[in-house]
Amino acid sequence: MRKLKKSDKRKKQEKKDFIKEYKKHLKCEICGETHPACLEFHHTEQKSFNISSAVRSSSNLDEIKDEIKKCKVLCSNCHKKMHYDENHSILLDK
Ligand SMILES: [Zn+2]
Ligand SMILES: [Zn+2]
């Protein structure tokens, strides 16, 4: 039996391609932005890792897919606002 061993570089490319392809079908849940360059993943549950760094790290594609399922899709603007609000409500003791 021939053993298929993919290089790390190949695996990273595979993950990048998956995210790129995946993002094509997404849109921001708040404002409806659809451009993949603006879309980010916002964790709604305890995050085990950051998706963008997972693409660069040794995490495999299945782990990334699982993590994406725990996320909301937001554009970078709405994402920043979301976290700004979060921080703000802490300051306001709410
Ligand atoms: Zn948005
Ligand atoms: Zn977030």
- For residue 72, which ligand has an atom nearest its CA? 2
Please give the pLDDT value at position 3: 61
State how many domains the chain has: 1
pTM: 0.76
Is the residue at 60 inside a domain? yes
Residue with the bigger pLDDT between 56 and 39: it is: 39
Least distant ligand from the CA of 34 = 1
38-70 b/e with 16+ CB inside 10 Å = b?
Answer: bbbbbeeeeeeeebeebbeeebeeeebeebbee
74 CA from centroid of ligand 2 (Å): 8
Residue keyed to tokens 């990048």: 16
Polymer length of the chain = 94
Q: Range of 74's domain?
A: 8-91
Residue 1 within any structural domain of the chain: no
In a domain, 2, yes or no: no
Question: Is 3 part of a structural domain of the chain?
Answer: no
Element (H, E) at 74: strand 71-75
What is the C-alpha separation between 68 and 48, in angstroms, rounded? Answer: 11
pLDDT tens-digit map of 81-90: 999 888 776 6
